[in-house]
């Protein structure tokens, strides 16, 4: 059966489930369908209610299906949650061929050697991303295929996740009537959409502020070196506003988006906002600076945790490419300035680029993961069709999960 031309991305977030359909054209990635539904079955990126999660996935994919006019059968799924952890590993092999020419099989073997790390039985390897190869002591090799050498080494970045959390996501997608082409950690997906090659080569931090979590990925010398998922996100800011002003979550979200600010000193004291408090019939008037004073501590907490991860992944914290903020949480007014002051690095907002069709609907930073998943899918297919071994991706882990589901359900 021939593979369809279009690619489908499914971003299962804490606050929303987004499905985007795209196709590759001469002008680049063209979007042909999108669907979105509120997400009620997840907490901090992990499934806590399967029925509600399946319902949200179904609603989002059916909306995208109606728009693009294609029946959606399989998707690239973004994986998030605080259960996602990372480490670096090294693999070493002897080149097999007598003429010492390194082939694709040698690259696969050395990546498998790096994969052979001690992982607890309740965790699953999601990605093994090659960072660079060393051939007979020569470091900094990006592509070892075709080179000559007797000893091949690879530095890899390994990302693992909770086996239970991965299985729950897979089961929800299957119950929604969809197959899975690949599972992709959301930080890597977002980087595909918003980072330039120059930034990745120089050194850059991607910070994706989602609803329930904040994903951090650090890149240097053209590859990822550190990833982390922080247990706070934009929904925590909304919750703080709701508690601090005694209002509903919907009202708090509206206030945060329209009037919120991460730096209270930037708000004139005389500015006021109108809100409806729980149990009050009349609208209340409060200083806008008071709203910012509620928001600022949580915004600072997120950025402090990001700073810790940058120091953990890059010893000197030196990232010439700076920090790229993306995700819905980065739209908070003053967040860029607050990040620049606290992290002491250049900061910019990252939105998907090089995309045609429906940019007005999915062109902002909130859709970085979904667009990145489409790009990941196109690259994944290109590598697969070209019979190039894939060092990243979790095909093997996904197959084990599918077998687990088949055995027990």
Q: Label residues 47-73 b or e (16+ Cβ within 10 Å = b).
A: beeeebbbbbbbbbbbbbbebbebebe
Q: What is the pLDDT along the chain (409 residues), one digit of tens a residue?
A: 344 578 999 999 888 999 999 988 877 788 999 999 998 888 888 889 999 999 999 999 999 999 998 899 999 999 988 899 999 999 999 998 889 999 999 999 999 999 988 888 899 999 999 999 999 999 989 899 999 999 999 999 999 999 999 999 999 999 999 999 999 999 999 999 999 999 999 999 999 999 999 999 999 999 999 999 999 999 999 999 999 999 999 999 999 999 999 999 999 999 999 999 998 888 899 999 999 999 999 999 999 999 999 999 987 778 999 999 999 999 999 999 999 999 999 999 998 887 887 766 677 899 999 999 999 998 887 766 533 333 334 444 545 554 444 444 3
Euclidean distance between the first and the last CA atom of the chain, given in angstroms as a whole number: 27
pTM of the model: 0.88
Sign of CA dihedral 361, 366, 372, 373: negative
What is the rounded distance in angstroms from the CA atom of residue 85 to the CA atom of residue 256? 31
DSSP label of 352 = -
Please give the C-alpha separations between residue 298 and each of 161, 215, 288, 394, in angstroms, as whole numbers: 26, 16, 17, 34
Q: Single out the residue of 218, 179, 199, 244 nearest to residue 343, CA to CA.
A: 218
Residues 6+ apart with CB under 8 A from 359: 31
Identify whether the C-beta of residue 324 lies closer than 8 Å to the C-beta of residue 199: yes
- Going by CATH, does the domain composed of 85-161 fall within 3.30.1490.110? yes
Identify whether the C-beta of residue 370 lies closer than 8 Å to the C-beta of residue 80: no
User: How far, rounded to the nearest angstrom, does the alpha carbon of residue 24 sit from its chain's CA centroid?
Assistant: 21
Identify whether the C-beta of residue 398 lies closer than 8 Å to the C-beta of residue 180: yes
What is the rounded distance in angstroms from the CA atom of residue 65 to the CA atom of residue 86? 35
Residues 6+ apart with CB under 8 A from 172: 12, 41, 47, 50, 53, 54, 57
Predicted local confidence at residue 4, as pLDDT = 55
- Strands 138-141, 123-135: pairing is antiparallel
What is the rounded distance in angstroms from the CA atom of residue 27 to the CA atom of residue 13? 29
What is the rounded distance in angstroms from the CA atom of residue 361 to the CA atom of residue 372? 15
Please give the C-alpha separations between residue 48 and each of 54, 172, 323, in angstroms, as whole numbers: 11, 11, 32
What is the rounded distance in angstroms from the CA atom of residue 191 to the CA atom of residue 205? 10
Q: Where are the domains of the chain?
A: 85-161
What does residue 369 show for φ and ψ, rounded to 5 degrees?
-65, -45
Predicted local confidence at residue 359, as pLDDT = 65
What number of H helices and E strands is found in the chain? 12, 19
């Amino acid at each position: 059966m021939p593979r369809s031309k279009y690619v489908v991305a499914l971003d299962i977030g804490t606050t929303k489930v987004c499905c985007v359909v795209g196709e590759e054209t001469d002008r680049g990635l063209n979007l042909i369908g999108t669907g979105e539904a509120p997400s009620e079955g997840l907490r901090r990126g992990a499934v806590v209610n399967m029925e509600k999660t399946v319902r949200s996935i179904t609603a989002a994919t059916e909306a995208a299906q109606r728009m693009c006019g294609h029946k959606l059968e399989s998707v690239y799924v973004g994986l998030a949650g605080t259960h996602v952890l990372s480490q670096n590993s090294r693999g070493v092999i002897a080149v097999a061929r007598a003429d010492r020419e390194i082939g694709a099989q040698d690259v696969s073997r050395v990546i498998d050697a790096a994969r052979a790390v001690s992982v607890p039985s309740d965790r699953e390897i999601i990605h093994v991303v090659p960072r660079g190869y060393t051939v007979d002591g020569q470091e900094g090799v990006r592509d070892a295929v075709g080179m000559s050498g007797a000893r091949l080494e690879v530095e890899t970045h390994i990302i693992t996740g909770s086996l239970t959390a991965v299985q729950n996501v897979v089961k929800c997608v299957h119950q929604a009537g969809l197959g899975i082409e690949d599972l992709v950690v959301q930080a890597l997906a977002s980087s595909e959409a918003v980072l330039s090659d120059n930034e990745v080569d120089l050194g850059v931090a991607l910070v994706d502020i989602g609803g329930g979590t904040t994903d951090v990925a650090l890149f240097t010398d053209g590859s990822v070196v550190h990833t982390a998922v922080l247990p706070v996100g934009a929904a925590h800011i909304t919750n703080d506003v709701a508690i601090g002003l005694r209002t509903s979550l919907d009202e708090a979200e509206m206030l945060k988006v329209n009037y919120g600010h991460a730096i209270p000193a930037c708000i004139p004291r005389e500015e006021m906002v109108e809100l409806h408090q729980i149990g009050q019939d009349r609208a209340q008037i409060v200083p806008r600076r008071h709203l910012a004073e509620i928001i600022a501590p949580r915004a600072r907490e997120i950025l402090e945790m990001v700073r810790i991860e940058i120091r953990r992944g890059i010893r000197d914290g030196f990232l010439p490419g700076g920090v790229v903020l993306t995700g819905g949480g980065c739209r908070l007014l003053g967040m860029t300035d607050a990040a620049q002051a606290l992290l002491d690095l250049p900061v910019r907002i990252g939105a998907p680029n090089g995309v045609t069709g429906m940019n007005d609907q999915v062109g902002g930073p909130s859709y970085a993961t979904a667009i990145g998943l489409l790009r990941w899918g196109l690259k994944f297919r290109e590598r697969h069709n070209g019979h190039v071994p894939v060092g990243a991706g979790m095909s093997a882990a996904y197959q084990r999960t599918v077998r687990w589901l088949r055995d027990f359900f």
